[in-house]
Amino acid sequence: MKFYDQLNTNIFLLKLTPGISPEIIPLIVKLYDCIVVESFGVGGLPDSILDTLCSEMARYEPHKKVLVITTQVTYEGSAVDTYEVGRRVRNRVRFLETRDLTLEAAYTKLMWILGKGVSSWEELETTFYSPINYDIAF
């Protein structure tokens, strides 16, 4: 058993709403280490914020500023590749997808991972998708 005593709470939850302004994206990306986007449907970002979010995230190494996409749909899980709006995101920026993790489980897992530190995107991705007490199934 290994104990950890560091958590990174510098994570922002961006709940998408109709008409959300892209003007808030640069400030969020600047101030937070991780942005969890609670998207519409099974995962996807509206064109109104896609360009701004992708260009802001591209300024940083993917494991230094982490983008995570989840869904607002209870019990559905995220599946970004289901619709074209999600596939457009996949082609432009690296991100983690919560899949069947609950928002709370994903948020807590991200605080732990970012708190212990990672040195690469591959390490971040491997750690995030590694099941801990059956928290993620697919």
Which domain covers residue 57, as residue numbers? 11-129
The label of the residue with tokens 């708190």 reads 115
pLDDT at 78: 55
Alpha-carbon distances of 90 from 9, 41, 113, rounded to whole Å: 26, 16, 22
- The 10s digit of each residue's pLDDT in 60-79 is 998 999 999 887 766 655 55
Asked if residue 43 belongs to a domain, the reply is: yes
Q: In what order do the strands lie in the sheet with 11-15?
A: 11-15, 34-39, 66-71, 96-97
Looking at per-residue pLDDT, the higher value among 77 and 129 belongs to 129
Contacts of 47 (CB under 8 A, 6+ apart): 85
SS3 102: coil
Answer whether residue 11 shows pLDDT above 60: yes
Mean pLDDT across the stretch 108-113? 96
Other beta carbons within 10 angstroms of residue 35's beta carbon come to: 22
pLDDT at 101: 86
Question: The domain that contains 58 carries what CATH number?
Answer: 3.40.50.40
pLDDT at 87: 59
